Amino acid sequence: MALTTANTPSVRASQATGASAKRRRPRRGPQREGLAGYIFLSPWLIGLMGITAIPMLLSLYLSFTNYDVLSPLGEAEWVGLANYKRMFTSDPSYWRSVTVTVSFALIAVPLKLAAALGVALLLNKAWRGVGLFRGLFYLPSLIGGSVALAIVWVNMFNREGAFNGFLRIFGIEGKPWVNDPSWALETLMVLAIWQFGAPMVIFLAGLKQVPTELYEAASVDGAGRFRQFMSVTLPMLSPVIFFNLVLETINGFQGFTAAFVLSDGTGGPVDSTLMYTLNLYLKGWREYEMGYASAMAWVFLLAIGIITAVFFSTGRFWVHYSDGDDR
C-alpha cells in the first residue's frame, strides 16, 4: 500500500517539482556573486569614469576647440583641426620642446639604465653590508619626483653651489650650470641618471634568476668575465632590460618637475629646458589656451603609443626568454 501511494501521480509531480527547484536554486549563487563583485569594483569604476575616461573624452573634444579655461565650457569655439595645424606649422616653441624632450630621453635613459645595470652587478654579491648599500642606492628613487630634491639640485649646480666648490679644490673655475643654456639640460640629465635606484632593483631581481650553471659552463669553455657578461648575462637579462627600457623611456618623455623648478616654470634659460609636458602646462595654465594644450596632450599620447609599439615589435629580435618563447 505504501509503495502504491509513493507512485501516485500527485506524489511524482511534487517530487519532480522539488527536484526542479533544487536544480534552479544554485543559479542564484553566481548572480549574487557577480553583483557583489560589481559592488566591490564600483569605487574603481567610478574613479575610472570620473577621473580618467570622461576627462579624456572631454580633452579630445577640447582639442578641436578654442577654449581658454576661464570661460564656461559651453562657450568653447569649434575650430576643427586648427590647433593641430598650428602645432605642426606655426609654433616654434612646440618643436623646440619636442627637440629638448627627445634629446633628454635619448641621452638620459640609456645612461641611466647603464648605471643601474653596473651598480646591480656590483651589488649582486653576498658580502657584508650589501643590503645597506642597496638601500642607499635605491633611496634617490624614492624622493626623485619631489620639488624639494629639485631645489637642492638647483642650489648644488648654481655658481656658488657645492659642485663648483668641489671643482675649486682642483683649481677649476666653475660656471652657473643651471643658468647656462649650453648646460642647463645636462644638469637635468645628471639628476635623472642619478635616480637609477628603481631599475637597479629590477636588474638585481633579474640577476638572481640567472642560473649559476651557465657561468660555470662558460668558464669551463674558457670564457672570461667580459665574455660571460656578453654571452650569458645580457641574453638572460634581455626581458628585464626590455621592461626597464619601456618604463624609463616613458618616464623620460614625461619629465616635468625638475624642469619646472630649475627654470622657475619658464623652460629657460632660452628654452633650453622646455620639456614637452612643461610646454603643455604653460600653454594650458599660463597662456589659457586649453584647447591647444589638449591637442598637444593627444599628440603626446599618440607619440608615446607609437614608441611603445615600436619597442614591442622590435623586441622579438633581441629579447630572449628562458622558456624559449621569444615573443
pLDDT at 300 over 90: yes
Q: DSSP letters of 185-236?
A: HHHHHHHHHH--HHHHHHHHHHHHTS-HHHHHHHHHTT--HHHHIIIIIHHH
pLDDT of residue 52: 87
In this structure, of 17-21, 138-142, 203-207, the range with the lowest mean pLDDT score is 17-21
Question: Is the pLDDT confidence value at 33 over 60?
Answer: yes
% of the chain surpassing 70 pLDDT: 88
Instruction: Using a pLDDT cut of 90, give the percent of the chain over it.
Output: 52
**The overall pTM is greater than 0.85:** no
